Amino acid sequence: MATPVKVYGPPMSTAVSRVLACLYEKNVEFELISINMSKGEHKKPEFLKLQPFGQVPAFEDESISLFESRAICRYICDKYADKGNKGLYGTNPLAKASIDQWLEAEGQSFNPPSSTLVFQLAFAPRMNIKQDKVVIRQNEEKLSKVLDIYEKRLGEARFLAGDEFSLADLSHLPNTQYLVSGTDKGNLFTSRENVGRWWDEISSRDSWKKVVDLQKGA
């Protein structure tokens, strides 16, 4: 029987892995359809119908077609509210508002500098693209300031939005994984006591371990 949920994209993509982590947390079965980006498959007309910006992931579930990893995650949490981790996107409006707040902080403040560093330090070398030392330094500074704020927050609460692991924490997994395990900038996280504790806890979750395995196997 064909699985209705389809995710298009390589598991090594940070945005794809964000969606995969969410699907594993919610125990939702899915089919991962590989997109060969080095061959430009994501810029071809058939793919652009699914994702007009020519980026991964794209997502299908029964009759609905979506893109933007954070929108996909919110959809999964809403559609499959009763499956897997039921509290992932909050079980009441106040919890949800706090999760949305930190999900936006991730998307607006954490993601820009961290994804630039991931590209410069983890992907550029593989793609034979020259690293830009100025860009690296500027973004390391930006990310450090954000992590100082996180350090304070995670001294007040176990997870970003409160006492429970949520979509807000999950959203940070992909970029942080690369920085901690694949570059020399891991100390940005591990040298901060609360951030380090938080990283250990969220990255040890079974759902994230499954994603990392997929990335290694790809």
Partner 1 sequence: MAAIKVHGSPLSTNTLRVLATVYEKELDHEFVLVDMSIGEHKKEHFLSTHNPFGQVPAFEDGDLKLFESRAITRYIACEYADKGTQLIYQDSKKMAITSVWMEVEGQQYEQIAAKLAWELVYKPLLLGMSADKAIVEENEPKLAKVLDIYESRLAQSKYLGGDCFTLADLHHLPTLHYLFGTQVKKLFDSRPHVSAWIADITARPAWLKALALQSQE
Where do contacts with partner 1 occur on this chain (CB under 8 A)?
Answer: 52-53, 63-64, 66-68, 70-71, 74-75, 78-79, 93-94, 96-98, 100-101, 103-105, 107-109, 112, 146, 149, 152-153
Please state the closest distance from residue 120 (CB atom) to partner 1, in A: 17
Please state the closest distance from residue 66 (CB atom) to partner 1, in A: 5
* Residue placing its CB nearer to partner 1 in the complex, 85 or 116: 116
Residues 6+ apart with CB under 8 A from 97: 90
Please state the closest distance from residue 187 (CB atom) to partner 1, in A: 22
* Residue placing its CB nearer to partner 1 in the complex, 173 or 203: 173
Query: Cα 46 vs. chain centroid, distance in angstroms?
Result: 25
* Residue placing its CB nearer to partner 1 in the complex, 18 or 205: 18
Q: 3-class DSSP state for residue 128?
A: coil
Please state the closest distance from residue 171 (CB atom) to partner 1, in A: 12
* Residue placing its CB nearer to partner 1 in the complex, 103 or 188: 103
| Calpha distance 160→166 (Å, rounded) | 8
DSSP state at residue 131? P
In 26-62, which ranges are continuous DSSP H helix?
A: 45-50
Edge-to-edge order in the sheet of strand 31-33: 31-33, 5-8, 58-61, 64-67
Please state the closest distance from residue 211 (CB atom) to partner 1, in A: 20
Instruction: Outline where DSSP puts E strands in the chain.
Output: 5-8, 31-33, 58-61, 64-67
Nearest to 153 by CA among 117, 101, 90: 101
* Residue placing its CB nearer to partner 1 in the complex, 77 or 202: 77
